[in-house]
Amino acid sequence: MDNITKYTSEELKALSVQELESKLKEDASEYQKARFNHAAVKIANFNQFKEMRRNIARINTELRAREIAAKK
């Protein structure tokens, strides 16, 4: 959790749906573990949680955009 990288829309658009779902599951699991660890031992850089939540939201947004595009 030391180095959280921001996903760009170009990176996410280059991935397949299966890769996005896998990345979403992985990131959500990592976020949950980090939250539990933070409850036990306070983490110095709380901004990492914000970036993790935003990455999860970016993936969900891309998945939703593809779902809408597939319906058209």
Q: Quote the pTM value.
A: 0.86
Instruction: Report yes or no on 44 lying in a domain.
Output: yes
CATH number assigned to the domain comprising residue 30: 1.10.287
Does residue 2 surpass a pLDDT of 70?
A: no
17 occurs within a structural domain = yes
Question: What beta strand segments (E) does 11-56 contain?
Answer: none
Within a domain: 37: yes
Q: Which one-letter DSSP state was computed for residue 7? A: P
Among residues 49, 52, 56, 54, the alpha carbon closest in space to that of 23 is found at: 56
Structurally, the chain folds into a number of domains equal to 1
Q: Provide the residue range defining the domain that includes 47.
A: 9-71
Q: Give the tens place of pLDDT for each residue, 21-43.
A: 999 999 999 999 988 888 888 77
Q: Does any domain span residue 50?
A: yes
* DSSP label of 46: T
